[in-house]
Chain A
Amino acid sequence: MELLHVALAVLFVPLGIAGLLMIVAPLRRSGRAAGVLSVLGSLFALAGSLYLFAALFGASGSELDRLTTTWLPHARLGAGRLASPIELGVLLDGISVSMLVVVCFVACMVQIFSLGYMSHEPPADFGRYFTWQSLFLFAMNTLVIAPNLLQLFLGWELVGLASYLLIGFYFRKPSAARAAVKAFWMTKLADMGLIAGLIVLFRETGTFDWTVTTPAATVVTFLLFIAVMGKSAQFPLHVWLPDAMEGPTPVSALLHAATMVAAGVFLIVRADPLFAQAAFTREFMLYIGAFTALFAACIAVVQSDIKKVLAYSTCSQLGYMVAALGAGSQVAGFFHLTTHAFFKALLFLAAGSLIHAVHSNELRQMGGLFSKMKLTSICFIVGALALAGIPGLSGFFSKDLILEVVLARGAYVPLAALLVAAFLTAFYMGRVVLLALFGAPSEAAGHAHESGVSMTLPLVLLSVLALGSGYAGAQLSGLYAEPVHFHLSTIGIVATGLALTGIAVSFWMFGPAKGGAAVQAAFAPLGRVARSGAVDQLYLLGYRRGLRGLAAGAAWFDRYMIDGAINAAAYGTLELGGRLRRLQNGDVQTYLYVVAMAAVLFALAGLVGVG
C-alpha cells in the first residue's frame, strides 16, 4: 500500500463523514447512527496512522514521503522577484506521523467515550456533536501533515472553528455561548500574529517553507509565537482556556487538553529551523513558558471545579513545553506534548466519568467515589501520578528531560519556576484525588455508580499509555535526528523529591487527618487573586478604557471622515449615473450615432497621435 494513499485516506475519511453528516440531515438527526459512523471514521484514521507509524521504523531517513500539489501557480512578487508556487500536500516524517498517531488515538478514545457520555443528549444534538468531532479530526490532521506553514495555517483556523463550535455545543446556555465567543476572539486576536508572520516570511523569502534561512527569522518567529500564545494558552492570552470548559468534558479532553491546544507547541516543533535562527524569540519563549507553568499551577491549587483544576494544569504543562522549546530542545518539548496528551486526556475523561456519575463539576459534590467507581478512580490516580511526575510513569520522563535541558541552558530563574511548579502540580493533583475520590461522600456521590464499558474502555487504554509511553522516548527521539539519552540525573531526583513532598503536603492537608490549617491560610490570598480573575479584570479594563476609547475615536473618524468622503463620492456617483443615463434613451439612432462617432474619434485620435 502506498503510504501517501493511506495518509490521504486518514485525512479525508473523517472529512467525508463530517460532510455526509452535514448534508444528509436525517442521518445526522438520527443520533446513534451518526455517532457510530463518526467513531468508525476515527477508528479508520487510527488504523491508518498506526500503519504509517510502523512504516516509520522501517524507513532509513526521518522523512518518509512527501506529496505536494500546486494550489496557486504563478504567485509572483512584484518587480520580477519570483516566488515558488504555493503548494498544499502531505508531509510524512517522524514529527508529523507520531503527532498523527497521538491525535488519532486520543480522538478515537474520546469519540468512543462520548458515545456513552453524550447518550442522554437529544438525537439531533448527539448527531451535531459527532459532526463537529469528525470535522475537528480532519482539521487537526490537515494541520499535522502540512508540508508548509500556509497549510498549517489553514488547519489552524479550521481547528479554531471546530473548537468554537464544540465549546458552544450547549449554545442555549448563555455562559457556553459566551465562552465560545471568548475563545474565538482571543485565539483570533493571537492569530493576527500568525497571519502577519506568514506575510513577512513570504515577502522576504517567497515561500512558506519552514526550512528557509532568512535574516527576518526573529520577526517572523516572534509573530508566530504570538499566535502560539493564543492557541496554547500562554500567559497573558490564556484566559479563554478555563472558560472553554463550558464545552462537553470529552471535548475538553480532546481539544483543550490533548491536541488542539498543543497545536501551538506543534507549530514551534515544526518550524524549529526557523526558531533556531531567532535567539531572542527563544529566550522570550523560555521565560513566558516558565512563568505560565508557575502562574497556572498556583491558580490550579485553589480551584473548586475539577475541570478548572485540569484546565489550569493544562496551561501549566503547556508552559513546560514552551519553556523546553525556548531552551532549544525540540525533542523535550515534543516528547512532553506526547505524554501529556495521553495522561491529560485520561484525566479529563476520568473526570468526565466522575462528573457523569454525580452530575456536577464541583469537588465538594464528589468525595468517597473510590469505593463506588473503582476502575475510573484507579485510572484517574494513574493519570494524576503521571502528571505529578512520579518515577516510572510517562510524565516523569518527559518533565525530567525538560528540566535537564533548561538546566543545561543555564537559565536558573526559569528552572526555579519550573521546579516550584512541579511541586505545586503534585500538590494540587493530590488535593483533587483526595477530595474527589476519598473522604466523606456527598449526597450525590452516594448514588454514584461505575460508568458503562464505552466509557471505561477508553480509560483503561489511555491508562496503559500514560503508564508506558515514557519508555518510548529514547526510540522516538531517534526519529527527529536529535538522539537523547535518558538517565536518572540529579535534577530528576530533585524533581521527584519535590513531587513526593507535594503529595505528602496534600495528604497532610486534605487526607483523613485534615491537618494543616496553616498551609490553607497561607494559600488564601492566592485563592482570592485567582477567584477574582485578575487577568480577566485587566482585559476588561483594557477593553473598557483602551479598546473602547480607540473604538470611539475610530468610529468618529469613520462616521465623519470616511463615511463623509464615501457618501460624497457615492452621491456624486449616483448623480453622475443618473445624468449619464439620459444618453441611454432607448433610441437606436442614438446608439448608432455613438458607435459611428466613437469609430471616427478613434481614427482621428490615431491620425493626430501617430501622424
Chain B
Amino acid sequence: MMNLGPLTIDLILCGLTFGVLSVDLALPHGRKRALGYLTAVLLAGLFVVSFFIDVSGSALSGAYQGDAWVLFFKRFALVAGVFVSLGAVDYVDRHFPTRQGEFWVLMLFTLLGMTLLPGARDLLLLIVCFELMGLPLVVLASFAKSEDKTGPGQFAPEAGLKLYLVSSVSTAITLYGVSIIYGLSGTTKLAELGGVGVSPMLFVGLAFALAGMGFKIGAVPFHMWVPDTYQGTSTPFVSFLSVAPKATGFAALAAVLILGFAHQKAAWAPLVLFVLVTSIFFGNLFALAQKDLKRLLAYSGIAQVGYMMIGLLTADAYGMGMLLFYIAGYLVTNMGAFLVLHAVAPNRSTITLDDVRGLSRRSPRLALALLLFLLSLAGIPFVVGFWAKLYVFMAAYRAGYTWLVLYGALMAIVALFYYLQIAKAAYMEEPTDAEPIRVDGSLDAVVMACMALVVVMGLYPSPFLQGAMAAARALFG
C-alpha cells in the first residue's frame, strides 16, 4: 500500500475539481454563477481541513515530501484561491455566462499545480508541477477569446499568447539546464544533488534552471511578459496571477537552491544577487514612468520580488522565514490592491489614474482600503508591508549585506513616490466622475477581508512571524 498521506490535500483538491466539473454539467444556463461560490466554499473548506489532518512524511519513494514548509504553500494557494473566486465571481458571470464552469475548473487545476509543487523533491516532478500550474494560467489569461473585440478582453489573446511563448521558452531553457545537471550527477533527486562538485558545467546547468524559475516569479531580466500580460487580462485574474504563481516560483527556487545545491551557494549566490538588485532597480524605475495603474503595479511587483529574494540570498532559516512572511503579507496587500482597481472599473481592462481620482468621495471605504494597501506596499508602519520590509532587511543585515539594506531602503523611497501619487489622486483630487461606486457584495467582502488582514498583521505580526519561522525551519530539517 502506497503512503499518500502527504498528498491528502492535493488529492481532495483534485476530487473537488472533478466535482465542480460535474456540477457544471448539471447546472442549466443562467444559474452557473453558483459555480464561483461553490469553488470558494470548497476551497475555504479545504483550507479549514488542512488544520486538522497530518500531511507530514515522505511519499512516492522519496520524490514527494510533506512538512510545515510545504503546508505553508498549500494553505497559501488555497487562500489565494478563495479570494480570487469571491473577487472574480461577478466578473466571470457577467462576461462569460456560459463558460463559467471552464473558468473555475482551470482555476482549480492551476491551484492543484501550486499545492503540489512545493512538496516535489525530484526535478522532473518539479517541472511537471510547474507546467500543471502554468498551462491553465495561459488559458485563463486569454479566456476572453475573440468574442470580445471591444470589451475588457480586447487584449486578452495577445496577453495569453505572450505569456505562453515566454513560458514555453523558459521551460525549454529550464529543461536544458536540468538535463545538464542530470548529466553531471546521474540523478534527478534533489537530496542526492549535493554531492556534485562545483564545476563550470554545473554552473551552466544551474543558470539555465534558474532562468526558467526567474520567469515564474517575474524577476528581471525574465520579467518582460509581466506588464503586457497584466494589462491585457481581466483585473481579478491579475490579482491572482500577480501573487500565487510567485509564491510557487519561490518554493521551486528554494527546493533547487537550498535543498539541492546548498553546498554550492558560492556558485549561485552571485546570480541571485544580480537578479535581485536589478529587479529592485528596474521594477521601481519602470513603475515611475507608468500611467496605467495595472502596469504600474506590475512593475512594482517586480521590485517587490527583488525584496523577497533577499530571503533566498541569505539561505538560512531566518531569511527564508522572513521571505514567507513577506509573501503572506504580499498576498493580502497586492490582491487587495488589484481588486480595488477592479471594483473601481469593473468593465475595463485598462485602468488609469483618472479612474481612482477622487475615490474618497465616490467610495470612502474603497479609498481607505486602497490607501492601506499602498502604504503596505510602500512599507509604512503599522501595516503589514512595514514589518515585511523591516524583517527582510534585518535578515540581510544579519547575513552581512549591509549595503543591500541601504540600497533597498533607498529604492523604497523611489517607490514611495509612485505609490503615494495614487493615494494623492484618490484623496486630494476632484473625481472626474462623481457617481458613487457600487461594488458586488462578494468582491466587497474580499477587499474588506484583505484590508482587515493588512491591519491585523500590521498591528500584531507576532503569530504570523512565528508561523512563518516555523515553516522555514522545516525546510532546513
> Given that A74-B465, A76-B394, A595-B169 are known contacts, is A573 also in contact with B414, CB under 8 Å in the complex?
yes
B462 lies within 8 A of A73 (CB):
yes
C-alpha spacing A595/B289, complex, angstroms: 23
A603 lies within 8 A of B224 (CB):
no
B277 within 8 A of A: no
B286 lies within 8 A of A591 (CB):
no
C-alpha spacing A592/B206, complex, angstroms: 19
C-alpha spacing A584/B295, complex, angstroms: 12
A-B contacts counted at CB < 8 A amount to 112
> Given that A580-B286, A588-B166, A611-B200 are known contacts, is A76 also in contact with B398, CB under 8 Å in the complex?
yes
Kindly identify which residue among A73, A578, A598 contacts B469, using a CB–CB cutoff of 8 Å. Answer: A73
B161 lies within 8 A of A598 (CB):
no
Question: Which stretch from B44-52, B77-85, B208-216 is at the chain A interface?
Answer: B208-216
B210 lies within 8 A of A602 (CB):
yes
A20 to B: closest C-beta gap in Å: 17
B267 lies within 8 A of A610 (CB):
yes
B179 to A: closest C-beta gap in Å: 14
A602 lies within 8 A of B207 (CB):
yes
B224 lies within 8 A of A594 (CB):
yes
Question: Which stretch from A39-47, A64-72, A506-514 is at the chain B interface?
Answer: A64-72
- In the complex, residue of chain B having the shortest beta-carbon distance to the beta carbon of A589: B165
Kindly identify which residue among A69, A71, A577 contacts B289, using a CB–CB cutoff of 8 Å. Answer: A577
A590 lies within 8 A of B224 (CB):
yes
Q: Enumerate chain B residues within 8 angstroms of A584, measured Cβ to Cβ.
A: 224, 227-228, 286
A526 within 8 A of B: no
B74 within 8 A of A: no
> Given that A609-B270, A610-B267 are known contacts, is A603 also in contact with B462, CB under 8 Å in the complex?
no
> Given that A591-B162, A596-B173, A611-B200 are known contacts, is A69 also in contact with B206, CB under 8 Å in the complex?
no
Convert B188-223 into 0s and 1s, putting 1 for each residue whose CB lies closer than 8 angstroms to a CB of A: 000000000011100110111011000100000110
Convert A69-104 into 0s and 1s, putting 1 for each residue whose CB lies closer than 8 angstroms to a CB of B: 111111010100000010000000000000000000
Convert B279-323 into 0s and 1s, putting 1 for each residue whose CB lies closer than 8 angstroms to a CB of A: 000100110110000000000000000000000000000100000
C-alpha spacing A611/B282, complex, angstroms: 30
A588 lies within 8 A of B285 (CB):
no
Q: Enumerate chain A residues within 8 angstroms of B282, measured Cβ to Cβ.
A: 580
> Given that A76-B394, A592-B166 are known contacts, is A577 also in contact with B286, CB under 8 Å in the complex?
yes
> Given that A69-B462, A602-B207 are known contacts, is A595 also in contact with B173, CB under 8 Å in the complex?
yes
The A interface is mostly helix, strand or loop, or mixed, namely helix
Q: Enumerate chain A residues within 8 angstroms of B462, measured Cβ to Cβ.
A: 69-73, 85
Q: Enumerate chain A residues within 8 angstroms of B391, measured Cβ to Cβ.
A: 74
A427 to B: closest C-beta gap in Å: 50
A142 to B: closest C-beta gap in Å: 13
B18 within 8 A of A: no
C-alpha spacing A607/B460, complex, angstroms: 47
C-alpha spacing A592/B414, complex, angstroms: 29
- Identify the interface centre among A574, A588, A599, A607: most chain B CB within 10 Å of its CB: A599
A577 lies within 8 A of B288 (CB):
yes
A606 lies within 8 A of B200 (CB):
yes
Interface residues on B, range: 35 or more
A606 lies within 8 A of B162 (CB):
no
B170 within 8 A of A: yes
A72 lies within 8 A of B222 (CB):
no
C-alpha spacing A603/B180, complex, angstroms: 12
Convert B232-269 into 0s and 1s, putting 1 for each residue whose CB lies closer than 8 angstroms to a CB of A: 00000000000000000000000000000000000100
A71 lies within 8 A of B200 (CB):
no
A58 within 8 A of B: no
B466 within 8 A of A: yes
Interface size on A, residues (CB 8 A): 37
Convert B401-417 into 0s and 1s, putting 1 for each residue whose CB lies closer than 8 angstroms to a CB of A: 00000000000001001
> Given that A74-B318, A574-B288, A610-B267 are known contacts, is A603 also in contact with B207, CB under 8 Å in the complex?
yes
B211 lies within 8 A of A595 (CB):
yes
A586 within 8 A of B: yes
- In the complex, residue of chain A having the shortest beta-carbon distance to the beta carbon of B413: A566
B221 lies within 8 A of A610 (CB):
no
B225 within 8 A of A: yes
Q: Enumerate chain B residues within 8 angstroms of A603, measured Cβ to Cβ.
A: 203-204, 207-208
B461 within 8 A of A: yes
Q: Enumerate chain A residues within 8 angstroms of B460, measured Cβ to Cβ.
A: 71
B169 lies within 8 A of A610 (CB):
no
B199 lies within 8 A of A602 (CB):
no
B445 within 8 A of A: no
A588 lies within 8 A of B227 (CB):
no
Q: Enumerate chain B residues within 8 angstroms of A581, measured Cβ to Cβ.
A: 286, 289
Q: Enumerate chain B residues within 8 angstroms of A599, measured Cβ to Cβ.
A: 173, 207-208, 211
A611 to B: closest C-beta gap in Å: 4
C-alpha spacing A419/B280, complex, angstroms: 67
C-alpha spacing A592/B285, complex, angstroms: 22
C-alpha spacing A595/B165, complex, angstroms: 11
A591 lies within 8 A of B166 (CB):
yes
Kindly identify which residue among B161, B166, B224, B397 contacts A78, using a CB–CB cutoff of 8 Å. Answer: B397
Q: Enumerate chain B residues within 8 angstroms of A586, measured Cβ to Cβ.
A: 228
A576 within 8 A of B: yes
B394 lies within 8 A of A576 (CB):
no
C-alpha spacing A570/B211, complex, angstroms: 31
Convert B367-399 into 0s and 1s, putting 1 for each residue whose CB lies closer than 8 angstroms to a CB of A: 000000000000000000001000100100110
> Given that A72-B462, A74-B318, A606-B204 are known contacts, is A598 also in contact with B211, CB under 8 Å in the complex?
yes
A548 to B: closest C-beta gap in Å: 28
B128 within 8 A of A: no
B474 within 8 A of A: no
B92 to A: closest C-beta gap in Å: 27
C-alpha spacing A71/B463, complex, angstroms: 8
C-alpha spacing A583/B289, complex, angstroms: 14
- Identify the interface centre among B207, B210, B286: most chain A CB within 10 Å of its CB: B207
A610 lies within 8 A of B203 (CB):
yes
Q: Enumerate chain B residues within 8 angstroms of A70, measured Cβ to Cβ.
A: 462, 466
Kindly identify which residue among A577, A588, A595, A607 contacts B221, using a CB–CB cutoff of 8 Å. Answer: A595
A596 lies within 8 A of B169 (CB):
yes
B353 within 8 A of A: no
- In the complex, residue of chain B having the shortest beta-carbon distance to the beta carbon of A585: B224
B271 within 8 A of A: yes
B29 to A: closest C-beta gap in Å: 36
B465 lies within 8 A of A595 (CB):
no
C-alpha spacing A352/B270, complex, angstroms: 72
A565 to B: closest C-beta gap in Å: 12
C-alpha spacing A584/B289, complex, angstroms: 12
Kindly identify which residue among B170, B173, B228, B285 contacts A573, using a CB–CB cutoff of 8 Å. Answer: B285
C-alpha spacing A63/B203, complex, angstroms: 62
C-alpha spacing A583/B278, complex, angstroms: 15
Convert B431-447 into 0s and 1s, putting 1 for each residue whose CB lies closer than 8 angstroms to a CB of A: 00000000000000000
Q: Enumerate chain A residues within 8 angstroms of B398, measured Cβ to Cβ.
A: 76, 78
Q: Enumerate chain A residues within 8 angstroms of B466, measured Cβ to Cβ.
A: 70, 73
C-alpha spacing A522/B221, complex, angstroms: 85
A588 lies within 8 A of B215 (CB):
no
B231 to A: closest C-beta gap in Å: 10
Q: Enumerate chain A residues within 8 angstroms of B169, measured Cβ to Cβ.
A: 592, 595-596
C-alpha spacing A586/B221, complex, angstroms: 15
- Sampled A-B contacts (23; CB under 8 Å): A70-B466, A71-B460, A72-B387, A73-B465, A76-B394, A573-B414, A577-B286, A577-B288, A583-B224, A591-B162, A591-B225, A592-B166, A595-B173, A595-B211, A598-B222, A599-B208, A602-B207, A602-B211, A603-B207, A605-B271, A606-B200, A606-B207, A611-B200
Q: Enumerate chain B interface residues (CB-CB to A < 8 A).
A: 161-162, 165-166, 169-170, 173, 198-200, 203-204, 206-208, 210-211, 215, 221-222, 224-225, 227-228, 267, 270-271, 282, 285-286, 288-289, 318, 387, 391, 394, 397-398, 414, 417, 460-462, 465-466, 469
9 A-B pairs besides A595-B173, A599-B208, A610-B199 with CB distance below 8 A are A73-B469, A76-B394, A78-B398, A591-B165, A595-B222, A596-B169, A606-B200, A607-B204, A610-B267
> Closest 6 CB pairs between A and B?
A606-B203, A602-B207, A599-B211, A611-B200, A577-B289, A591-B224
